[in-house]
């Protein structure tokens, strides 16, 4: 695959995980090929948008044939790093940690959850989703020894800055941040994905408000 990722817009990148999900379902259903028009009907986006997005990474399709589902699924997986065997730790062993670790969100995306960290003596030593909760004081040593790639922050907003500082020097390359505080660690060479759950709720409320005003519901 030719590397055309350089300069790809964030909008295209943000759509890739959605392509991945749909292609995974098609692959599991033993569907061998699909056209951009068929995929567009499933995903409710235009066929031209799909072709444009895929062309950013080399195209993948064949004129008159469409897309080979298995091949396209594998290519999108490679682009997204699913096959790179990334590892992760969660910092903060609260309810959000339990919710995230309970499902298959990590394994389905090629990320292995190695450990969970907390500073509460009541939580240290517990096992959550088959993973041991360790003291935060062991974070740096553990991450260095196990070459951890990702830190998932599920601590309260008040502890976000302090926790982010603890990550520095651990070898962590990316942060999945659920603290509701906007973090930027790019100066340290660490990528951050800031997750604000309330934003999606407000977007939903806006959409419903628009529908009500237009009388479409």
Give the tens place of pLDDT for each residue, 57-105: 887 877 667 899 999 999 999 999 999 999 999 999 999 999 999 888 9
Q: pLDDT exceeding 70 applies to what percent of the chain?
A: 95
Provide the pLDDT confidence category of residue 166 given band limits of 50, 70 and 90.
very high
Provide the pLDDT confidence category of residue 217 given band limits of 50, 70 and 90.
low
| pLDDT for the residue numbered 102 | 87
Mean pLDDT over each residue of the chain, to the nearest integer: 92
Q: pLDDT exceeding 90 applies to what percent of the chain?
A: 85
| pLDDT for the residue numbered 2 | 42
CB contact burial 125-142 (16+ within 10 A = b; e otherwise): eeebeebebbebeebbeb
Provide the pLDDT confidence category of residue 3 given band limits of 50, 70 and 90.
very low
**Average pLDDT for residues 15-25, to the nearest whole number?**
95
Q: What is the rounded CA–CA span in Å between residue 184 and residue 188? A: 9
Long-range CB contact pairs, 53-58, < 8 A, 24+:
53/12, 53/15, 53/16, 53/19, 56/4, 56/5, 56/8, 56/12, 57/1, 57/2, 57/4, 57/5, 57/8, 58/1, 58/2, 58/4
* Nearest CA-CA partner of 57 in 79, 39, 73, 77: 79
**Average pLDDT for residues 147-176, to the nearest whole number?**
97
* Nearest CA-CA partner of 118 in 129, 134, 130, 131: 134
* Nearest CA-CA partner of 87 in 167, 172, 164: 172
pLDDT at 157 over 80: yes
What is the tens place of the pLDDT at every residue in 93-146? 999 999 999 888 999 899 999 999 999 999 999 999 999 999 999 999 999 999
| pLDDT for the residue numbered 216 | 73
pLDDT at 1 over 80: no
| pLDDT for the residue numbered 13 | 93
| pLDDT for the residue numbered 210 | 93
């Amino acid at each position: 695959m030719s590397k055309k990722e350089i300069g790809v817009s964030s909008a295209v990148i943000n759509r890739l995980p959605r392509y991945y999900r749909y292609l995974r379902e098609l692959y599991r259903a033993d569907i061998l090929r699909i056209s951009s028009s068929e995929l567009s009907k499933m995903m409710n986006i235009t066929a031209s948008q799909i072709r444009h997005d895929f062309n950013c990474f080399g195209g993948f399709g064949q004129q008159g044939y469409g897309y080979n589902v298995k091949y396209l699924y594998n290519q999108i997986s490679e682009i997204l790093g699913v096959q790179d065997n990334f590892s992760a730790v969660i910092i903060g062993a609260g309810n959000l940690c339990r919710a995230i670790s309970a499902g298959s969100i990590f394994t389905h995306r090629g990320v292995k959850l190695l450990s969970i960290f907390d500073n509460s003596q009541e939580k240290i030593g517990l096992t959550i989703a088959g993973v041991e909760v360790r003291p935060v004081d062991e974070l740096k040593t553990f991450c260095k020894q196990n070459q951890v790639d990702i830190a998932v922050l599920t601590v309260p907003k008040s502890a976000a800055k302090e926790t982010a500082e603890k990550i520095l020097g651990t070898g962590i390359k990316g942060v999945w941040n659920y603290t509701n505080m906007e973090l930027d660690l790019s100066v340290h060479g660490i990528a951050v994905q800031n997750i604000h759950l309330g934003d999606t709720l407000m977007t939903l409320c806006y959409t419903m408000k628009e529908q009500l005003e237009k009388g479409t519901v």
